[in-house]
Amino acid sequence: MPFVRIQLKEGRTAEQKEALAQEIIKTMDASKFAPKESVSVIFEDMKQEDFYSGKNM
């Protein structure tokens, strides 16, 4: 039972996340990595003020 965890800055719509999750699930199923019924995709949104990167320094 694979879990795909995606961490990203907040701002994506529920529709965008659903479309991405569906593509990930379809790809895992098509590649015989795991049957679609067993795949879970979890999004973790981070607030902008909780995200820092050395690229912005």
Catalytic residues: 2
* 3 SS3 class: strand
β-strand pairing of 40-46 with 3-9? parallel
Exposed / middle / buried, residue 6 (Cβ in 10 Å: 0-12, 13-18, 19+) = middle
